[in-house]
Amino acid sequence: MTKLLLIRHGETMFNRARRLQGCKDVPPLSDLGTRQADACANYIASLNRGTITALYSSPLARAYMTASAIGKAVGLDVVTDDRLKEIDVGALEGMTWDEVQLAYPDFMVEHRADPLGPGILEEKASRMSRREHAILPTDLSAIMAMRQSSSLDMLLF
Question: Active-site residue numbers?
Answer: 9, 86
Helical segments of 49-80, H only:
61-74
> The sheet that has 142-147: what strands, in order across it?
3-8, 142-147, 54-57, 79-80
Report the 10 Å Cβ neighbour count for 35. Answer: 14
Query: To 5 degrees, how large is the angle CA 150–CA 156–CA 157?
Result: 80
Burial class (CB in 10 A: 0-12, 13-18, 19+), 118: exposed
What's the number of CA atoms in the CB half-sphere (13 Å) around residue 71?
17
